[in-house]
Amino acid sequence: MPELPEVETVRRALEKRLAGGTISSCRVVPPAFNAKTPAPLLKKIAGATVRSVSRRGKYLILELSGGRDLSLHLGMSGRIAFDSPNPHTRFILKTDRTTLYFHDPRRFGRVGCRLPELGPEPLNRDFTPKRLFGALKKSRASVKSLLMDQGVVAGIGNIYATEALFSAGIRPGRAGKSLSLADCVRLLGAIKIVLSQAVKLGGSTLDDEGFLDPFGRPGKFQHSLNIYGRKTGRACAHPLKTTRKPLAGRTSRYCPQCQK
DNA sequence: ATAGGCGCCTGTAAGC
DNA sequence: TGCTTACAGGCGCCTA
């Protein structure tokens, strides 16, 4: 569930709280994550200082002294907090100034993983309509599954792909290669607006999945969602449809009147 | 080569 | 009301 805006919100909090701190210890809490965490790595980083916290797509990266990095991925239910351990705590990292808890009920998160090949950062200037056009025209897959493909563009998941496609007036099931350059101009503009606005508002906190930042604060972008999780459009008031054939493994909401 | 599907996991919601 | 089932979802891996 956490996508680029939520992960960026977490990054900013971590930067404030961790940068400059020295790691005194870190450990995974069995049964930890579904994917194995490399134990040798965790031993090596004790004593290192956190220089800064960066983000790449949906990955958080603690940049440490000595040139080592520690990556974190929240999966879909992961949450970073400075509170206290609970039955879902999978990872604990202590510094000389604070303790970080990684809670993850579904255990889809990971720590210390290698980053896969990722596409461009959607909010960077080098992600241009032409580049998006070039990526989409190579594939017969649906435009929505391509937007959620982290190798095409990094950080977009179901919520923001759904919203961006609505804003651009493009149906999620359309083949990527069917989009014109003009479509890509609109789509890229929509992606940048939706993501940057969501970052500004601290991400989206859905009723059920309840994203909270590390200080326990919910996001505010859910009030701006036009179609995700809704039966009628917020802006257009049209009845929405859900594709029964899942795209990239999930059902897809769209407005049959506004999206062509 | 690539696109689609499955499995991982568990809390919540819907259904009987 | 209490139980069962479906669903949500990122990502790695598998297969046609």
Q: What is the mean pLDDT of each run of 10 residues along chain A (260 residues)?
A: 92 96 94 89 93 95 93 93 93 96 93 91 95 92 92 93 94 92 96 96 79 92 90 90 67 90
> What backbone torsions phi and psi does residue A92 show, to the nearest 5 degrees?
-130, 130
Residues A127 and A129: their CA atoms lie apart, in Å, by 7
Q: Would you say A24 and A94 are in contact if contact means Cβ atoms under 8 Å apart?
A: yes
Give pLDDT, residue A140.
87
Could you say which residues 46-75 of protein chain A have a Cβ atom less than 7 A away from any atom in strand C? 57-59, 73, 75
Residue A250 bears catalytic tag? yes
Active-site position among A3, A6, A8, A163: A3
* Per-residue flag: A77 CB under 7 A of strand C: yes
Closest nucleotide to A31 by C1' from CA? B9
Q: Check residue A248 and give its pLDDT.
A: 57
Amino acid identity of residue A103, one-letter, is: H
- A185 HSE (CA, 13 A, CB side): 3
A58 is catalytic: yes
| DSSP class of A59 | E
CA of A236 to C1' of C13 (A): 41
Predicted local distance difference test score (pLDDT) of residue A252: 85
Q: A37 CB contacts (<8 Å, ≥6 apart)?
A: A28, A91, A110, A111, A112
pLDDT value of residue A214: 94
- What is the strand order of the sheet A99-103 is part of? A23-28, A89-95, A99-103, A79-81
CB neighbourhood size of A149 (10 A): 18
What pTM, to 2 d.p., does this model score? Answer: 0.95
